[in-house]
């Protein structure tokens, strides 16, 4: 645990996450206290708000999956072009065993397929959230 706090970047990241997490909890509690006041709005309006929040959260959750999928597909394309695993310039150690030819192409197609699945899942997540939000209404 001592070594964790010696790195200033990790300490800044931890403090930032705590601050933003606390702000998120505070604003969520404020929003919920306004929504649940004694004068209740119509149930449809509240259901619509919940559906919109579900949609926004799933859209925000899907964005990193699309980005990671695009990067994984890029790595697969680099393997396909160089026909070796690991591709040149990826920063692996010099003594790392290298796959060439057919085996490298199999790895490239597998990695590009995984990247495609990540992109599709990231794009479908908001659709699933929208359907779930409509189900809540």
Give the model confidence (pLDDT) of 14-49 as tens digits.
778 778 777 777 777 777 777 666 555 555 556 667
Q: Report the distance separating Cα 79 and Cα 109, nearest Å.
A: 9
Do 1 and 15 belong to one domain? Answer: yes
Q: Report the distance separating Cα 126 and Cα 132, nearest Å.
A: 10
Do 11 and 49 belong to one domain? Answer: no
Do 23 and 48 belong to one domain? Answer: no
Do 98 and 85 belong to one domain? Answer: yes
Do 25 and 47 belong to one domain? Answer: no
Do 62 and 24 belong to one domain? Answer: no
Do 36 and 91 belong to one domain? Answer: no
pLDDT in tens, 113-129: 999 999 898 888 888 87
Range of the domain at 18: 1-40
Do 77 and 105 belong to one domain? Answer: yes
Rounded to the nearest 10°, the torsion over CA 77, 80, 82, 88 is 50
Q: How many domains does the chain have?
A: 2
This prediction's pTM: 0.57
φ/ψ of 78, rounded to 5, equals -65, -35
Question: Can you say whether the dihedral through the CA atoms of 90, 92, 94, 95 is positive or negative?
Answer: negative
């Amino acid at each position: 645990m001592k070594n964790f706090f010696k790195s200033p970047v990790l300490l800044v990241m931890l403090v930032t996450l705590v601050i933003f997490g606390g702000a998120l909890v505070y604003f969520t509690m404020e929003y919920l206290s306004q929504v649940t006041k004694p004068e209740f709005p119509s149930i449809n309006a509240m259901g619509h708000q919940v559906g919109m929040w579900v949609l926004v959260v799933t859209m925000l959750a899907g964005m990193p999956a699309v980005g990671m999928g695009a990067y994984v597909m890029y790595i697969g394309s680099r393997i396909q072009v160089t026909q070796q695993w690991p591709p040149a310039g990826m920063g692996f150690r010099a003594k790392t065993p290298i796959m060439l030819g057919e085996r490298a192409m199999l790895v490239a197609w597998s990695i590009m397929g995984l990247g495609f699945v990540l992109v599709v899942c990231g794009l479908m997540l908001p659709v699933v959230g929208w359907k779930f939000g409509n189900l809540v209404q």
